[in-house]
């Protein structure tokens, strides 16, 4: 890890440790902790990590931003850091300046379509936009004759239909009815598809961090919990479960890191990036399911209680699995890609990685 990335990681960890500790948040009676945490993240430039310096951002490397997201996932805090980073990346790809404050981004889903009208306003509906109600502005991709646009719309100009993920985080539908964007620019070719790939890699990074956290918490709990006059960590069945959880966490961390490195080193989103991103979303999603089950088995009923922080991690893992495409969707996409290229191209594609 480079010196700059280590500094960024240390800063991120310190902010979340001081202002976003999951157990303290689980016991909080209100959401007064959110404003100080968000202010600290903004002051440190973490919310604008993927915005180039020329557009008044931090100008961090793509891999550095993914490291920030891994650490954020290890605290499982319900603030739109990932969404703000992703919106900043999207706007920057179109050369648009990124405003301060919390942002969200409307993923491009099959069958959905935001369109630009003849009077340059936008209309349409986007489903399950993360943290839409908490964002000051929302980055969207809209279709027009001859291509696509990247636009920034003020949340106050949109109709918001509140929804929630399994973790209770906002997943809101937004309805645009001749909304005039605050900023707009032509979208580079295939940017909508690239946004999906970036989003999948973002969620993989967050999930890998959350899996690290539940492994650490499960090991600590197993050493503290006494049954039959000894810590349950002394029982062979628990040791086997923790070993399996460690394996799932390591696999997730490796797959997510490989996807981040592939995107960081790519000049464009090509077949090599697709292989890494699809593999990461599939493998990390599988690890999230298996790892969450093991963690709850080790903790027993206490892990589901409102006062304990474990469920804050596992519920987000379950929700993040589905964001930007579940494992089945990415497996189908990857399988179609392999089949289209033919059997002779499979081994060279794998060996090249």
CATH superfamily of 191-351: Butyryl-CoA Dehydrogenase, subunit A, domain 3 (1.20.140.10)
Residue 96 has a pLDDT of 96
pLDDT-based confidence at residue 157 (cuts at 50, 70, 90): very high
Q: The whole model's pTM is what? A: 0.95
- Under DSSP, the state recorded for 311 is H
Instruction: Give the largest Cα separation in the chain, rounded.
Output: 75
242 band by pLDDT with thresholds 50, 70 and 90: very high
Residue with tokens 């004759």: 145
Distance, CA of 102 to CA of 67 (rounded, Å): 20
Enumerate the CATH 2.40.110.10 domain ranges in the chain, comma separated: 102-188
Strands 137-144 and 147-154: antiparallel
Q: How far apart are CA 257 and CA 268, in angstroms?
A: 18
User: In the numeric block, which tokens belong to residue 153?
Assistant: 């719309």
State the Cα torsion 181-186-188-189 to the nearest 10°.
100
Strands 103-105 and 137-144: what pairing?
A: parallel
Coil, helix or strand at residue 160: strand
- Reduced to 3 states (helix: H, G, I; strand: E, B; else coil), residue 212 is helix
Query: pLDDT band at residue 304, thresholds of 50, 70 and 90?
Result: confident
By the 10 Å C-beta count (0-12 exposed, 13-18 middle, 19+ buried), 122 is classed as buried
Q: Look at residue 49 and tell me whether its pLDDT is greater than 80.
A: yes
Mean pLDDT of 69-89: 96
Is the separation of the CB atoms in 112 and 127 below 8 Å?
A: yes
Phi, psi of 333, rounded to the nearest 5 degrees:
-60, -45
Fold of 102-188: Butyryl-CoA Dehydrogenase, subunit A; domain 2 (2.40.110)
The segment(s) of the chain belonging to CATH 1.20.140.10 are 191-351
pLDDT digits (tens, 9 = 90+) for 323-340: 999 999 999 999 999 999
**Angle (deg, nearest 10), helices 81-93 and 62-73:** 160
């Amino acid at each position: 890890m480079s010196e700059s990335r280590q500094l960024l990681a240390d800063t991120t960890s310190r902010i979340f440790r001081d202002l976003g500790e999951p157990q303290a948040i689980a016991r909080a009676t209100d959401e007064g902790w959110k404003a100080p945490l968000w202010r600290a993240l903004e002051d440190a430039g973490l919310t604008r990590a993927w915005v180039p310096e020329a557009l008044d951002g931090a100008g961090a490397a793509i891999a550095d931003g993914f490291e920030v997201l891994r650490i954020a996932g290890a605290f499982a805090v319900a603030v739109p850091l990932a969404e703000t980073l992703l919106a900043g990346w999207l706007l920057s790809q179109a050369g648009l300046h990124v405003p301060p404050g919390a942002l969200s981004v409307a993923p491009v889903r099959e069958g959905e379509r935001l369109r630009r009208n003849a009077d340059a306003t936008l209309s349409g509906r986007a489903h399950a936009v993360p943290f839409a109600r908490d964002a000051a502005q929302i980055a969207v991709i809209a279709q027009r004759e001859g291509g696509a646009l990247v636009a920034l719309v003020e949340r106050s100009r949109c109709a918001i239909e509140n929804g929630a993920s399994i973790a209770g985080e906002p997943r809101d539908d937004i309805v645009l009815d001749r909304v005039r964007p605050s900023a707009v620019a032509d979208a580079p070719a295939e940017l909508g598809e690239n946004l999906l790939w970036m989003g999948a890699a973002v969620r993989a990074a967050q999930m890998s961090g959350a899996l690290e956290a539940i492994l650490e918490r499960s090991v600590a709990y197993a050493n503290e919990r006494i049954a039959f006059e000894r810590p349950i960590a002394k029982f062979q069945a628990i040791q086997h479960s923790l070993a399996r959880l460690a394996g799932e966490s390591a696999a997730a961390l490796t797959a997510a890191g490989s996807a981040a490195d592939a995107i960081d080193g790519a000049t464009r989103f090509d077949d090599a990036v697709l292989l890494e991103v699809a593999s990461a979303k599939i493998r990390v999603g599988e690890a999230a399911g298996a790892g969450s089950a093991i963690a709850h088995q080790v903790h027993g009923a206490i892990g589901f209680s409102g006062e304990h922080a474990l469920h804050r991690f596992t519920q987000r893992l379950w929700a993040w699995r589905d964001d930007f495409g579940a494992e089945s969707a990415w497996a189908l996409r990857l399988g179609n890609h392999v089949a289209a290229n033919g059997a002779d191209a499979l081994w060279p594609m794998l060996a090249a990685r």
